[in-house]
Structure 1
Amino acid sequence: MSTPGWITGCAGSDVVPVEGRPLWRGPRPAWIVGDTLAYRVVHDEAGMLRLAVVGDCYATDAQLRQGLGAVTRADWRALTGWPGSYWVVADDGRRTVVLTDVAGTRPVYYTFHHGGVVWASAATPLADLTAAPIDHAALVARMVCPTVSEVTGTGTVFAGVHRLPGGHALHLGAGRIQPYEPETQKATFEQAAEALREALVVAVERRAASAARLSADFSGGLDSTSLALLAARAGYEVFAVTRDDPTSANDDVLYARCAAAGEPRVRHVIVDESEHGLFFDRMDAAPHTDQPYTDAARWSMRHAYHRRVLDHGSDLHLTGSGGDTLLVASPSYLADLARLGQPRELLRHAVARARLRHQPVHSVLAAAITLAYTSYPQALRRLAADITQPPARWERPNASRRLHWCGSSSFAAWLTPTARDQLAQRVLATAATTDLGGVPISTHRAWCELREFGAYQAELTAQLRATGINAHAPFLDNAVVRAAMSIPVSQRQSTTVQKPLLGAALRGLVPDFLLHRRTKGAYDGNAYTGIRRNANRLHAILDDSYLVQAGIVDHAAVRADLDRLIAGAPGRLAALETLITTELWLSRHTSRPPARVWRTEEPAHA
């Protein structure tokens, strides 16, 4: 793998990256590798206090110098309040502290080597350093229950290589990881809307001001379209791209046309690339990622319309990625309404949910009330039971299965009995020790889902940038995330609009017809068309499956479901994406030539 630019450092180790340039030297050195990452370093006059920001940080030089005061006070959270998306590396003379962002889109990995700790923003170089094998148990956990952080833990696909969760700091010298972002709720809806408005405007305008040629996704949905309109409203020309997918029926293009018509600074382009833009098309052409990445199956679909962005010469591309995860509540919010004694609200929302899912209202109400009185350890034990005995045949989930604190992917149905039992035992072990410390279950789950999306976004951003798209996701900036997560989960859902908090935040800045949109584009038609067109390739991948040979997946079970999907019947589509993309990643990783990434030298002393 040709790893894009990355940062690394160590404490108590004698390794040095072969192509690294030092951010600073000393007993806890740090380096930057490659020339694709922007970075700035400030230090005090004595050189004892040092602070580096790496990535897309829009702090002024004066603000960075003021950040040295936060380093002195060990106020690590204060170093994460600037606009942008970036890593922070700080050293106070006694320890180095490495911070990922709140959502985890700027990943930090670490491993133990020769009595010391080595960290990096990519896992593969650390795996090269330690000759780490594939960690099958961690891989299965992430395929089946990726948002259940108690089960996935800090593990990665590489044995002995750990990932720092979003909102956490790695303390070198002290040898520990510690959260800097609390899972608390402290704002009213109005306060959160005001904070979200300010954070989004700043996030977009700082980026637009830094770009020579600005482009944006312009799907017609609330997220990407709103960001492009904010940039245009601030006076910047925006090359806006909408994908018209004739294989899937939705009204995205109509909303995109209407939104563009009212803003002269938006140069709107509609792209129909259905011939080369289907699920599972040209997967071998997709850039390899640091970790397995489920969206790789959609690479051709995304790249088909992003070619217009490349032709335009864009140097910064806005996306709405993260908006859904951040601003739409999981259906489990109904349990909060039940637990808080809001029967009228519960009934109103249950009726809307029942109509959406074509289910009886009484079954939705019963599921919500049952969940309200389900503890988190009980939910984990139920997850273990579901993994142990998944349905043999695909069926539409009923209300009780759709409302859960921590559900498993339908991938569990494809596991061999041994793999299933091992994962279930792992889940049960966490159920015996889990303690949320008073944090509401819905809040904790929202953070888990956001941080899992952050891990996904890290690979998406790396893949897009490998193709020349300098993609940015303002919805995942720290200030934006904090504003959205500062209210109870149930307040992020409405029976009349898609995203009530976003609508309140952008009122007057974005047209009302867009903020009040009640439909959402779906691309199932593209997926099924892609499966049919690539059926032979999918069968070939399954017949040569690493996961089957490793005793993890049952070949016959997968083949039955694959044939069902090829025939156009509803089935385990998301699980198929996970399987195929994981197989491709494993095939590339296991066949890659050895890489010389590290060398050794005598460690420096203070």
Structure 2
Amino acid sequence: MLKDTWWLILPDTEAAAALADRLGVRDLDCLRHASGRPWLLGRWRGAEAVTAEAGDARVAVLGRCPLTPEALRARVARLRDVREVEGAVGRVAGSYHVLASVGGRVWARGTASAACRLFTARVGGVPVTAPGADVPAGLLDSAPDHEMLAARLMDPPISWTALGGRTIWRHVRAVRPDEALLWERDGAQRTVRWWRPPAPELGLRAAAEGVRTALAEAVATCTAGGGTVSADLSGGLDSTSLCFLTAAQDEAELVTLRWEGVDAQNDDAVWARRAVAALPGATHLVVAQRETPDWFAGVDGMRLATEEPVAWARDVAKQSDVLERVGAHGSRLHLCGGGGDELFTPSPAHLTDLVRSHPLLVSRRLRRLRFDWRVGRTEALRAVCDRGGYQQWLHRAARDLTASQPAPSASQLGWQPPPRMPGWATPGAVRAAAAALEDAAARCPGPLAPQRSLHAVLSQVREGGNAIRQMNQALPGPRYAIPYTDDAVVAAALSVRPLEASVPGRFKPLLTEAMDGIVPREILRRTSKGRYGTDFYRALRRRRGEILALLDGSLLAKAGLIDPERLRRALRTHASVPELALVTHTVAGEIWLRSVAERPRPWPVQPNGGAR
């Protein structure tokens, strides 16, 4: 979807039609149920939207998708029941919402990766659904939920896309990404599971074929239509693979961009130059250290009109600069390699999944990790043999929010790394975050996958998908695309047997096998990974004054969630590495609260009628 588009789904009822009239349906883009009542309304003309109808069936595919109206119409003509829409459309490459009305019954879903999401609320008794929480929040004149805002201070973040459906807005619920919303003719609402992760049972070669096909098709949806697209070329294997796949499509002109890091030990630049030499048909941009903004640049005056705190708030200045530069070269879409690390570096938790079926092999692999983690044999065995369920993990996470950092074995071999609250969080904020986790444990139907390793990967993928969705709301210029969060790519990557995708001495074997013949083998032989910790801490040092200025009159402090003086001391006295990492979430929350306060109604829909 384009950055300035929005839409709302309504059931096929008289009450919903009356609500549409109050919103000013005549001034909006509108698709109707077969009954003639409004079904989909908002602003999406000129966006990535394909719609079709046949008989009493209407289907809209909104997002990055190769379907033409004619192709979609042929599929829609076969529909006899709304639940058949997934079989007709669901396996098409890309990243998109699928919306359908068949005989007055409504089906709606986003993506399993959370790059496309759905949010619901009841407005005057009428159920409504939108791709962002801000639209139903605007209709309800809703206020932020401070308990959920407190929970957003935790690090690592919890994947709220899976836990209970709570959002940062009161009275607005999120649909779980792997579930679809189903409305009956009378407006009765329920959710249906539409996506499940594959069983991780394919050999490396078979899984790599699936990854190769899915990635190529994902990139093809980005280059379709020609013109110019751009891509990060950091030198890392994930972004490099996307650049070569884009060049191989030969449909769009390619512009690559790399910004120089400050760590002399980071060899990304060496590998990026080798990739550039093998891509002579592309335009290559390199941004020098002195020309690229620091992380955290401009946070003191930053305002972001997004529906929730932006997880990548520290990156806004840098990424805005990237989009401005590639936009000046004609780019309409910018590809980045986010999600590749998560998909192609199996979580160590796969050893916990396999300890019973492959005890000797797990023992050998665990011995290597023990030395890296510097933990004893007993401690590592206790962690790898833990059989606690996900709800138990959530209860423990709620209890341990202020505990010392867990040992690497407990952190890496569990369902996901346990979250911690920052030292500057108030006791009230800690209690609120713990309550949110306990509430999630009570509502949670189970983990994202039966295997801990797949659950951990999906949690990270969904955090990335949701973050890029927010960045596309926040930043001007070309949109972002992350092909590694396309559902088909995620499913293909998760299908491999973890022991084959995690081979000691090999770096991302699944991706290198998939890219053999597309990316030069010299580049695929890379075994190192660039690190940007030096960039992070230099940015904290250089931008400390701007972060401190953001704390003046802190709205998080006024809400009783942080103690600004404790945060100031942490920034001035070189706090520990784990604690400083928590600064990002606090900065994001403060920027968001200020944005909401200064733009009390940034939503496109007014609660009392009319559209902006």
Q: 2:346: which partner in 1?
A: 329
> Quick one: structure 1 residues 66 and 487, their matched pair in 2 at CA, closer, same or farther if it must change by over 3 Å?
farther
RMSD: 2.9
Alignment of 1:437-476 (within 5 A): 439-463=450-474, 466-476=475-485
Distance in 2 of aligned mates of 1:462 and 1:337: 41
> Quick one: structure 1 residues 196 and 533, their matched pair in 2 at CA, closer, same or farther if it must change by over 3 Å?
same
Alignment of 1:400-415 (within 5 A): 400-415=410-425
Match of 1:298 among 315, 330, 334: 315
TM-score w.r.t. length of structure 1:
0.89
8 Å Cα contact 1:273-1:304 kept in structure 2: no
Q: 2:531: which partner in 1?
A: 522
Match of 1:102 among 107, 112, 122: 112
Count of residue pairs the alignment pairs up: 588
TM-fit CA distance, 1:369: 2.4
Q: 2:399: which partner in 1?
A: 385
1:146 aligns with 2:157: yes
**Which string of whole-angstrom CA distances, capped at 9 and with x for unpartnered residues, describes residues 230-268 of structure 1?**
122333542111111235641111101111212322332
Q: 2:72: which partner in 1?
A: 64
**Which string of whole-angstrom CA distances, capped at 9 and with x for unpartnered residues, describes residues 472-525 of structure 1?**
221122211221122355554332233222122112211223333222222222
1:419 aligns with 2:434: no
Distance in 2 of aligned mates of 1:462 and 1:433: 29
Match of 1:259 among 275, 280, 294: 275
% of aligned pairs identical?
A: 28
Match of 1:551, SS? Answer: coil
Q: 2:584: which partner in 1?
A: 577
8 Å Cα contact 2:180-2:192 kept in structure 1: yes
1:239 aligns with 2:255: yes
> Quick one: structure 1 residues 164 and 430, their matched pair in 2 at CA, closer, same or farther if it must change by over 3 Å?
closer
Once structures 1 and 2 are overlaid, which stretch shifts more, 511-520 or 410-419?
Answer: 410-419
Alignment of 1:530-549 (within 5 A): 530-549=539-558
Alignment of 1:146-185 (within 5 A): 146-149=157-160, 152-172=163-183, 173-185=187-199
Gaps of 5+ in 2: none
Q: 1:202: which partner in 2?
A: 217
8 Å Cα contact 1:109-1:119 kept in structure 2: yes
Q: 1:558: which partner in 2?
A: 567
Distance in 2 of aligned mates of 1:369 and 1:413: 29
8 Å Cα contact 1:350-1:361 kept in structure 2: no
One-letter amino acid of the counterpart of residue 557, structure 2: V
Alignment of 1:263-282 (within 5 A): 263-282=279-298
Distance in 1 of aligned mates of 2:391 and 2:145: 26
TM-fit CA distance, 1:366: 2.6
Q: 2:593: which partner in 1?
A: 586
Distance in 2 of aligned mates of 1:409 and 1:599: 37
Q: 2:492: which partner in 1?
A: 483
One-letter amino acid of the counterpart of residue 30, structure 2: P
> Quick one: structure 1 residues 404 and 564, their matched pair in 2 at CA, closer, same or farther if it must change by over 3 Å?
farther
Q: 1:119: which partner in 2?
A: 129
Distance in 1 of aligned mates of 2:237 and 2:292: 26
> Quick one: structure 1 residues 241 and 123, their matched pair in 2 at CA, closer, same or farther if it must change by over 3 Å?
same
> Quick one: structure 1 residues 166 and 328, their matched pair in 2 at CA, closer, same or farther if it must change by over 3 Å?
farther
Match of 1:348 among 340, 344, 365: 365
> Quick one: structure 1 residues 537 and 446, their matched pair in 2 at CA, closer, same or farther if it must change by over 3 Å?
same
**Which string of whole-angstrom CA distances, capped at 9 and with x for unpartnered residues, describes residues 161-199 of structure 1?**
122222221123331122200234165133322111111
Once structures 1 and 2 are overlaid, which stretch shifts more, 158-167 or 57-66?
Answer: 57-66
One-letter amino acid of the counterpart of residue 330, structure 1: S
Match of 2:29, SS? Answer: strand
Distance in 2 of aligned mates of 1:350 and 1:69: 58
TM-fit CA distance, 1:550: 1.4
Distance in 2 of aligned mates of 1:203 and 1:561: 43
Once structures 1 and 2 are overlaid, which stretch shifts more, 76-85 or 308-317?
Answer: 76-85
Distance in 1 of aligned mates of 2:442 and 2:219: 44
Distance in 1 of aligned mates of 2:39 and 2:445: 36
> Quick one: structure 1 residues 155 and 431, their matched pair in 2 at CA, closer, same or farther if it must change by over 3 Å?
closer
Distance in 2 of aligned mates of 1:553 and 1:287: 21
8 Å Cα contact 1:325-1:453 kept in structure 2: no
Q: 1:15: which partner in 2?
A: 19
> Quick one: structure 1 residues 588 and 181, their matched pair in 2 at CA, closer, same or farther if it must change by over 3 Å?
same
> Quick one: structure 1 residues 591 and 265, their matched pair in 2 at CA, closer, same or farther if it must change by over 3 Å?
same
**Which string of whole-angstrom CA distances, capped at 9 and with x for unpartnered residues, describes residues 557-601 of structure 1?**
433322234x8x634233100001110111011111446724778
Distance in 2 of aligned mates of 1:410 and 1:386: 7
TM-fit CA distance, 1:535: 1.6
> Quick one: structure 1 residues 70 and 563, their matched pair in 2 at CA, closer, same or farther if it must change by over 3 Å?
farther
> Quick one: structure 1 residues 215 and 195, their matched pair in 2 at CA, closer, same or farther if it must change by over 3 Å?
same
1:131 aligns with 2:141: yes
8 Å Cα contact 1:247-1:274 kept in structure 2: no
Distance in 1 of aligned mates of 2:503 and 2:357: 17
> Quick one: structure 1 residues 314 and 532, their matched pair in 2 at CA, closer, same or farther if it must change by over 3 Å?
same
One-letter amino acid of the counterpart of residue 173, structure 2: H
TM-fit CA distance, 1:398: 4.4
Match of 1:166, SS? Answer: coil
Match of 1:294, SS? Answer: coil
> Quick one: structure 1 residues 165 and 248, their matched pair in 2 at CA, closer, same or farther if it must change by over 3 Å?
farther
